[in-house]
Amino acid sequence: MTIFNYLPILAEAAVTSALVCCLSLVVAAIMAFAAGVTLCAGPAWLRAIAILYVEVFRGTSLLVQLFWLYYALPLIGFSMPPLLTGVLALGLNTGAYGAEVVRGALQSVSPQQHEAARALNFTRMHTLWRIILPQALSEMMPSFSSLAVQNLKDTSLVSMITIADLTFKAQELRNLTQDSVSVYGASLFLYLVMALAVIAVLRALERWINKTTGRHA
Q: Greatest CA separation found in the chain? A: 70
Compute CA distances 166 → 40, 66, 111, 161, 178, whole Å: 38, 17, 47, 13, 17
93 is in which domain, residue-wise? 3-213
Q: Is the dihedral angle over the CA atoms 10, 11, 12, 13 positive or is it negative? A: positive
pTM for the full predicted model = 0.89
In the prediction, which pLDDT does 67 show? 95
Residue by residue, pLDDT tens for the chain (217 residues) are 677 778 888 999 999 999 999 999 999 999 999 999 899 878 899 999 999 999 999 999 999 999 999 999 999 888 899 999 999 999 999 999 999 999 988 888 777 766 676 766 676 677 777 777 777 888 888 899 999 999 999 999 999 998 989 999 999 998 988 888 889 999 999 999 999 999 999 999 988 888 877 665 4
Tell me how far apart the alpha carbons of residues 42 and 49 are, in angstroms, rounded to a whole number. Answer: 10
Q: Which residues make Cβ contacts (< 8 Å) with residue 141, sequence separation at least 6?
A: 202, 205, 206, 209
Please state the domain count of the chain: 1
pLDDT computed for residue 107 by the predictor: 83
CB neighbour list of residue 34: distance below 8 Å, 6 or more residues apart: 50, 99
Could you tell me if 179 and 1 are in contact, meaning their C-beta atoms sit under 8 angstroms apart? yes
Q: How far apart are CA 41 and CA 99, in angstroms?
A: 13
Is the Cα dihedral 22, 136, 36, 147 positive or negative? Answer: positive
pLDDT of residue 216: 56
pLDDT of residue 179: 86
CATH number of 132's domain: 1.10.3720.10
Query: Which one-letter DSSP state was computed for residue 30?
Result: H
